[in-house]
Structure 1
Amino acid sequence: MNVLMHLSDLHFGAHDPQVCTAAQRLAQRLGVEMVVVSGDLTQRATAAQFELAARFLQGLHARSTLVLPGNHDLPLFAWWMRWGRSYERFAQQFGLDQEPVRQMGPFYVVGVNTTRPWRHERGSLSAAQIEEVARRLAHAPPGAWRIVASHHPLVPRDTADQAHRPRRADVALQRWQAAGAQMLLSGHVHEPGLVQPSPGLWASRAGTAVSRRVRHGSPNSLLVLSVEATGAVASGQARFAARWDYDHPKGEFACVSRTLLAP
C-alpha cells in the first residue's frame, strides 16, 4: 500500500502538542511515504514557529515532503518584511521553492502558491501559474495519480464558500483538468470535505491538522490518500481518500470516512 498524508493549517504558535504527537504516531503506523502540507504552518510567521513546524514534520518520518506557504506564513506585524522578504522565514526551513513538484511511488504532486504578499487573506493565481501547472501535469509519468496542491480551495462547497477561492479559480479548474489533474488538495477554511466537481476530478479540503483554531464544529483532522491492491476494480489497484479526525478522549486520530475513488 502506498500512502500520502495531507495536512493543512498547522498554525504552530496556536498548536496542541498532544494532537501533534498523535499525528506523528498515525504517520508512522500507516507508513506514510509522502506528506503534503498546504500552508499556514504558523500562526504569525515567526522564526520560532517555523522551526517548531519543521521539527514536527521531521517527526512524521516521510520519505518525501511537499510544503506550501499559506497566508499566515507571511509576516503580519513585521510589515517591513512584506516588501521583498515575505517568504524569507518560510524559506529558512522549507527552501526557496514555493511551488515544488514531488513524485513518490504512484503520487505525482504539483504545488502552486496562491498567497500574495499584498493580500492579508485572499488568494490569487496568475495566468502564468495556471499554464505552468498544466505543463507540469502533462509531464506526469503514465499511470501516476496527478494531484495539485494549493493553500486556497479552488472548489466551493456552497455559496458562502466562494469568498475563499483564489482569483482565476474557474480558469485554473478547466485548464488543469484538461491537462490531466485528478485530485485537488487545499486547506485555509479549517473545514474538511471531499467533493467531485466533475467526472474524473476530486477536490479534498483538509481541516486544521494540529492547531487549537478549530472552526464550524469540525475537530482536528487530516486526509490520507492511498493506492491499494484490491479486487474491487479491474486494474487491481484502487485509490482511496480517508478522513481521520482527532478523538480527544482516546488521544488518537480515528478514521471517520473512507471513499473509493475511480482509478
Structure 2
Amino acid sequence: MSVLMHLSDLHFGAHEPVVCRAVQALARQLGVSVVVVSGDVTQRATPEQFAQAASFIRGLDAGAAVVLPGNHDLPLFAWWLRWGRAYQRFGQEFGPDLEPVRQLGRFFIVGVNTTRPWRHERGSLSGAQIARVEKELAEAYEEPWRIVVAHHPLTARNAQDKAHRPARAEEALLRWRDAGAQMLLSGHAHAAGLLQPLPGLWVSQAGTAVSHRLRHGYPNSLVILSHEADPGSPDKAQRWASRWDYDPETTAFHCVQRQWVDDPNGALAI
C-alpha cells in the first residue's frame, strides 16, 4: 500500500506539541511514504519557527516531503524582507522551488504557489500558472495519482470559503481536470473536508494539523491518500481518501471519513 499524508496550516509558533507527537505516531503507524504540506508551516515566518517545522516533518519518517509556502510563511514583522527576499527563510529549510513537481511512486504531484509577497492573506493565481500546471498534468503518465497542491482553496462550500478563493479558480479547476488532475490538496481556511466539485476531480481541504488556531468548530485534522489492494482483483489497486481528526481524550488521530475516490457516484464509505 502506498500512503500520502496531507497536512496543512501547521503554524509552528502556535503549535501543540502533544498533537505533533500524535501526527508523527500516525505517520509511523500507517507507513506514510509521502508527506505533502500545503502551506502555513509557521505562524510568523521566523527562522526558529521554520527550523521547528522542518524538524517536525523529518520526524514523520516519510520517504519524501513536498512543502509549499502559505501566506503565514511570508515575513510580517520583518516586512522589509518582502522586497526581493520574501521566501528566503522558507527556502533555507525547504529549498528554493516554490512550485515543485515530483513523481513519487504512485503519486504525481504538481505544486502551485498562490501566495504573493505584496499580499498579507489573500491568494492569487495567474494565467501563466494555470497554463503551467495544465501542461505538467497533460504530459504526466496516466497511471500515477495526479495531484495538484495549492495553499488557498480553489473550491467553496460556503460564503466563508468563497472569500479565500483566488481569482480564476473556476477556470483552473476546469482546465486542470480536463488535463488529467484527479485530486486537489489545499488548506488556509482551517476547515477540513473531502469534496467533488467536478466529475472526476476530488478536493481535500485540510484543517489545521497541529496548531491551536482552530476555527468553525473543526478539530485538528489531516488527510490520508492511499493506494490499496482491490479485494476483487489483487493485481489492481483502489484509491482512497480519508479524513483523520484529533481526539484530545485519547491524544490520537482517528479516521472519521473515508472515501473511495474511484467511485463515479462519490458515495461516502463512512
- What TM-score do you get using the length of structure 2 for normalisation? 0.95
One-letter identity of the residue aligned with 2:64:
S
On the 8 A contact 1:226/1:239 being kept in 2, the answer is yes
1:109 aligned to 2:117? Answer: no
Number of residue pairs matched by the alignment: 263
Q: Distance in 2 between matches of 1:10 and 1:144?
A: 27
Equivalent residue for 2:23? 23
Q: Distance in 1 between matches of 2:15 and 2:38?
A: 16
Cα displacement string for residues 145-194 of structure 1 (whole angstroms, at most 9, x for unaligned residues): 10000000001112332111012111111111111001000000001011
Written as runs of structure 1 = structure 2, the 5 A alignment for 1:1-263 is 1-231=1-231, 236-262=236-262
On the 8 A contact 1:232/1:238 being kept in 2, the answer is no
Q: Distance in 2 between matches of 1:235 and 1:127?
A: 40
Unaligned runs of 5+ in 2: 264-270
Identity across the alignment (%):
64
One-letter identity of the residue aligned with 1:250:
T
3-state SS of 1:236 partner: strand
On the 8 A contact 1:243/1:256 being kept in 2, the answer is yes
One-letter identity of the residue aligned with 1:205:
Q
Q: CA deviation at 1:231?
A: 2.8
Q: Distance in 2 between matches of 1:114 and 1:232?
A: 41
Q: Distance in 2 between matches of 1:160 and 1:47?
A: 31
Q: CA deviation at 1:40?
A: 0.2
Q: Distance in 1 between matches of 2:99 and 2:122?
A: 18
On the 8 A contact 1:68/1:150 being kept in 2, the answer is yes
On the 8 A contact 1:64/1:102 being kept in 2, the answer is no
3-state SS of 1:217 partner: coil
> 1:189–1:233: structure 2 CA closer, same or farther, 3 Å change rule?
farther
Q: Distance in 2 between matches of 1:228 and 1:206?
A: 21
Q: CA deviation at 1:256?
A: 1.0
Unaligned runs of 5+ in 1: none
Q: Distance in 2 between matches of 1:198 and 1:130?
A: 17
On the 8 A contact 2:54/2:93 being kept in 1, the answer is yes
Q: Distance in 1 between matches of 2:76 and 2:245?
A: 30
